[in-house]
Chains A and B, each alone.
Chain A
Amino acid sequence: MASKDVDSVSPSSHEHRTPVRWYILVFIVPATLIYTTFAIYPIIESLRLSLYQAGDGGGMFVGIANYARLVGEPYWAEQFWNAFKNNVLLFAMHMLIQNPIALALAALLSIPTLKGAATYRTIFFLPTLLSVVVVGFIWQLILSPLWGITPAFMNWVGMGSFFQPWLGLESSALITVTLISIWQYVGIPLMLFYAALLNVPEETIEAARIDGLNGWWIFWKIKFPLILPTLGLVGILTYIGNFTASFDLIYSIQGGLAGPDYSTDVMGTFLFRTFFGFQAQLGDVYMGATVASALFFIILIGVGLYLFGVQRRLQRYDS
């Protein structure tokens, strides 16, 4: 930890004029074009659509009426806040369960004397590579009270009386889906933490060991502060992932109505039903765009809070 660099951009020196470097355009333009076409334009277009309602032969400008409906009309507000609440819970549970597990496993994996680290690493990461539909279907079968292996297995170890159809109970459906999601995705934060831990310089750890710290304290006093930026990154990735990508798993396990009684409904499934319609419900492009925009703002606010509230205070250590 010789020098400390507080996230500042060093001003480049302009001592002698360099010719305009046109070739930079060659690198920037393709990505900009693709990103604009497939990300920025759709975002702006859905923001625009959210200000319209179906009228005679096309959209009719209504200002923020759709947003007022979303939080004002009981039918919409109830679904919106329910989905939002479930999404926040989903995120909180990932932060409290998934990331500590990932950190602990990464810490164990990075012990140099551990035998078979590569095997464990592969096993922990494998579920991440599975298709989400396969994961959803497998867990549905495993947990099924009719033909799943869980009831039989729990009977075998003498815990049969504790079995419940967890995916079918309002009280436990969300936590069950969360745990399935954690089982699948724990590999990603694990890999990020693992890479960060491998970057901790050996000399620093050695110095701490010579000073008399044991493995436990080396982790908390040396390694943990050094990987804090990664922890922040994992946090924000979890946030974005839970608010946008949680749709697929819930849809494949619980269906579009996110049952039982909407207890696993998140922003993604709510958006899906609103925009495309589901079964007897007709799709509404304009309300769908409103839900999508609300989701966009939720993520924007979350990421903004992180960037300005957390990221800037993180100290990066140069070793």
Chain B
Amino acid sequence: MFTLGRAAIYPTGSWEITGFQENADFEMGVFAPPKKDADSTCYISDHTDIGIGMNAATENKEAVMAFLAWTTSAEFAGLLTNAAPGFFSLANHEIKVENALAQEFVALRGVCESTIRVAHQILSRGEPALGNQLWTLTANVINGTQTPEDAAKEAQANLDGWYKP
């Protein structure tokens, strides 16, 4: 199938569902990234860095609180998940995911553990931004020009330079 050009693999994430389904006239499915071996755990990264909050100095505290409370409701979670297929609410409500491909994605949560994308939110605020450094280091590791241990050491050295937990 692959050599005949009748099937293809594209490494990406659930955020591309809308774009792909708009432009592709073929069927799509999803599988999780390969694991080290059959017994190891797989991980799904939650984007805990995408959140909204309130400005502490706001004059409309109550209105903001009401809005924020609504974003934690089952109604909001359902709206977000189905209006933007591929973006899932992190709330614990039971939601019916209508998009079939998005359902496949979210089903992976049943078998995989959850993790966060570590480089975003705070760890990319220094010099160098950890997010960018991880791009380069990951490419080096995949290319075989750097060992994973060495890459991790370099990232840690960078963080030690400016980040104090």
Using CB atoms and an 8 Å cutoff, list the residues of chain A in contact with chain B. Answer: 75-76, 168, 170, 257, 259-262, 278-282
9-residue interface stretch from B14-22, B79-87, B139-147: B139-147
A279 to B161: give the CA distance in the assembly, Å: 21
Using CB atoms and an 8 Å cutoff, list the residues of chain B in contact with chain A. Answer: 119-120, 124-125, 127-132, 135-136, 139-140, 143, 145, 161
**Beyond A280-B120, A282-B125, is A260–B143 a contact (Cβ under 8 Å)?**
yes
Residue in B120, B140, B143, B161 whose Cβ sees the most chain A Cβ within 10 Å: B143
**Beyond A280-B129, A281-B129, is A257–B136 a contact (Cβ under 8 Å)?**
yes
**Beyond A170-B145, A260-B145, is A281–B136 a contact (Cβ under 8 Å)?**
no
CB atoms of A257 and B132 under 8 A apart: yes
Number of A-B contacts (CB under 8 A): 40
CB atoms of B140 and A280 under 8 A apart: no
A75 to B133: give the CA distance in the assembly, Å: 12
Query: Chain A interface secondary structure, helix, strand, loop or mixed?
Result: loop
Contacts of B135 in A (CB 8 A): 257, 279
Contacts of A260 in B (CB 8 A): 139-140, 143, 145
Q: Of the candidates A75, A168, A257, A262, which one forms a contact with B127 in the assembled complex, judged by CB atoms under 8 Å apart?
A: A75
**Beyond A260-B145, A261-B145, is A282–B140 a contact (Cβ under 8 Å)?**
no
CB atoms of A278 and B132 under 8 A apart: yes
A279 to B134: give the CA distance in the assembly, Å: 11
CB atoms of A279 and B143 under 8 A apart: no
Closest Cβ–Cβ distance, residue B153 to chain A (whole Å): 15
Contacts of A281 in B (CB 8 A): 124, 128-129, 131-132
- The 20 sampled A-B contact pairs (Cβ below 8 Å) are A75-B161, A170-B145, A257-B135, A257-B136, A259-B136, A259-B139, A260-B139, A260-B140, A260-B145, A261-B140, A278-B132, A279-B129, A279-B131, A280-B120, A280-B129, A280-B131, A280-B132, A281-B128, A281-B132, A282-B124
